[in-house]
Amino acid sequence: MPFLINEFFECDNSACRLRFPGAAGHPRWNRCPVCRSRIHLVATMENNTEGNKHIDIQQPWQVEALLDNIRSAWNVGSIFRTSDGTGVQKLYLCGITPSPENTKVSKTALGSEVNVPWEKFNNGVHLASLLKTKGYVLWALEDLSIAQPLFQIKFDWINSPIVIIVGNEVSGVDPGIIEICDKVISIPMLGKKQSYNVAVAFGIAVSFLLYRQSVSHGSLNIFPST
């Protein structure tokens, strides 16, 4: 079973004392990256690079995602990694959404882009229409007046594959896609800002839906009895 040895260093300069990680096998740090003083090794830790599976899936998890004109490669890479972790089966990269061929995407995805199938499409509205004709249920993640709160969603189509749609960081999901969606969902917030970062919002949504669809059998209870 492969392991990665992580090392942690601390700066010898008492006025700095920067503490930071490094990975064994990579070029070793010889100086503090902040003040350039000498450093010393303070801790090591082994990580299992194969990861651990902690979730017991009760029902098939049928979710894909459509990324509509995401402009940030970092956000796309983060969504790839979240998709790998939550078992999202495929990503559709539409409009200006960068693909893993962009080095910024692959750098953030950390190899998850190899595990998650993806396709590139120029027109998200056309793709959404095509997916709907194939029997997919389309749910747009967007803060609109018609949106249903994520935590109150009932799974009317629990046996149908769902496509979660997230949109541009500024403009949101294309209105043409919104028109043909089966649901628009939003994430309740307590702060003054009206929305999360798109990659963060995607992670919240798919993690909660994974729990609701495949673990809690669609129960509205936070901790349902089993």
Sign of CA dihedral 144, 147, 150, 151: positive
Does a structural domain hold residue 224? no
- CATH of residue 179's domain is 3.40.1280.10
Q: Are residues 182 and 89 in the same domain?
A: yes
Sign of CA dihedral 120, 166, 199, 150: negative
Which class for 214: exposed (0-12), middle (13-18), buried (19 or more C-beta within 10 A)? buried
Q: Are residues 44 and 115 in the same domain?
A: no
pLDDT at residue 76 in the model: 97
Q: Indicate the pLDDT class of residue 3, thresholds 50, 70 and 90.
A: low
Strands 148-149 and 183-186: parallel
Query: Which residues are paired to 23 by β-bridges?
Result: 6
Least Cα distance to 97 among 63, 127, 133, 73 occurs for 73
pLDDT at residue 123 in the model: 97
Q: Are residues 105 and 153 in the same domain?
A: yes
Mean pLDDT across 54-74: 82
pLDDT at residue 209 in the model: 86
Mean pLDDT across 126-143: 95
pLDDT at residue 157 in the model: 52
Q: Are residues 44 and 69 in the same domain?
A: no
pLDDT at 191 exceeding the cut of 90: no
Q: Does residue 55 or residue 127 have the better pLDDT?
A: 127
Q: Are residues 91 and 36 in the same domain?
A: no
Does a structural domain hold residue 222? no
Does a structural domain hold residue 57? no
Q: How far is CA 93 from CA 2, 26, 88, in A?
A: 32, 33, 14
Q: Indicate the pLDDT class of residue 60, thresholds 50, 70 and 90.
A: low
Percent residues over pLDDT 90 in the chain: 61
Write the pLDDT tens digit of every residue in 6-37: 889 999 999 999 999 876 555 566 889 899 99
Q: Are residues 211 and 147 in the same domain?
A: yes
Cβ pair 94, 122 in contact under 8 A: yes
Q: Are residues 40 and 67 in the same domain?
A: no
Q: Are residues 75 and 136 in the same domain?
A: yes
Highest mean pLDDT among 17-31, 40-54, 199-213: 199-213
pLDDT at residue 225 in the model: 45
pLDDT at residue 17 in the model: 96
Q: Are residues 37 and 71 in the same domain?
A: no
Least Cα distance to 139 among 127, 126, 148 occurs for 148
Structural domain boundaries enclosing 106: 63-215
Q: Indicate the pLDDT class of residue 212, thresholds 50, 70 and 90.
A: confident
Residues near 220 by beta carbon (within 8 Å), at least 6 away in sequence? 152, 154
Does a structural domain hold residue 226? no
Q: Are residues 108 and 69 in the same domain?
A: yes
pLDDT at residue 224 in the model: 46
Token reading at 59:
């029902």
pLDDT at residue 59 in the model: 58
